[in-house]
Amino acid sequence: MMYKVIFCVLLPGMLLFSMAVKGSIRDAIVRLPVSDTLLLLGDSAFEKGLVLKGTNTNAVCRDRFIFPFGENNGRAQWELAEWGSRFQLAGIKRRIHRKRIIYATRGKKIAFEKPAGNCRVAMNVTASDEYPVPRKAGEDWAHLLVEQTFTKKPYLKDLEALIFKFSGRLTKAVLRMKKKDFDPGLHTAQFQLFITVQDLNPASPNHGDFLWFGIPFYDYRYKDIRMYAAQDLGKSDATGKFIYSMGSADFMKGSFHSGAWITIYKDILPMMKDAVKLAKQRGYLKGSAIEDLGVSSMNLGWEVPGTLDVGFEFKGLDLLGVLRP
């Protein structure tokens, strides 16, 4: 899945809360008992491992795993997708370097560490290994995504706020193709998060339909990423669903292009409701009432349709649902 013109051709901590969320909501969250909040993400420290889904969306694997912090009897809640890649992490043995646990093969690397008990994840894509020649329109592109289906899937109508927490930084971005071959409508590298807003009502005639709600952290082409809304297209296995991706100014200050750590603490529920409204105006989610819609899953990571070698690391990822009284 890609967004923007690609489709046309193509801290944590309550101290920072007042910077991103209205005071009334902030104060409400401080007063709320645990029973009035939902931690949507499971296993935020990746202690139960990850399922390796493979490289082909038409032949998804479920029986291969990596366990960065040792094998755990609990069921893995995270999945790792490598769609469109020529290389796989399956069968790769982990190595440890300066307390960082690394899984790497040609084309990609993912690493985990726990400084002070907090999990930090680094994700790198080496697209110069993936593309012998510049990628052409209609061809697949390399992905490296961590994904999770939520165990608890709250309806939007039951939420007072949906708080997104994240700290990250860009560690590498190098163009590995000739500038004359670079087409900004076809080639880029994007690090982003998508949440599915889905019809969760079994009695709904459109049960299961969904839209993609995007949080774009980095795009090689733009320091200031604009809001984008359109259909998911660009390759043969695209979902055809509506994509609403916020503008970067909607949820953060500055740009990850700087290479500095940036922390985000943001109530994304209002913009998610805007996404639903716009989707319906454009003819999507037909048969789904707004009361039927909730949040069901997420994916986070790289999509790299251009010949770029890139890296990003993050920590403090969380998604908190605040229930209505």
Q: pLDDT tens across 243-291, in order?
A: 999 999 999 999 999 999 999 999 999 999 999 999 999 999 998 999 9
pLDDT value for 291: 96
Spacing of C-alpha 65 from chain mean position: 20
**Arithmetic mean of pLDDT, 168-174:** 98
pLDDT value for 59: 87
CA distance 320 to 300: 16
pLDDT at 325 exceeding the cut of 90: no
What residue has token string 């109530």? 267
Q: Using pLDDT thresholds of 50, 70 and 90, give the confidence band for residue 238.
A: low
| High-pLDDT (> 70) share of the chain, % | 87
Average pLDDT over the chain reads 88
More confident residue, 49 or 33: 49
pLDDT value for 35: 52
pLDDT value for 85: 97
pTM (two decimals): 0.88
pLDDT value for 269: 98
Q: Using pLDDT thresholds of 50, 70 and 90, give the confidence band for residue 68.
A: very high
Q: For 165-226, what is the HEC assignment?
A: EEEEEEEEEEECCCHHHCCCCCCCCEEEEEEEEEECCCCCCCCCCEEEEEEEEEECCECCCC
**Arithmetic mean of pLDDT, 10-34:** 39
71 phi and psi angles, rounded to 5 deg:
-65, 135
| Contact predicate 187/177, CB 8 Å | yes
pLDDT at 29 exceeding the cut of 60: no
CA distance 45 to 54: 22
pLDDT at 28 exceeding the cut of 60: no
**Arithmetic mean of pLDDT, 202-213:** 95
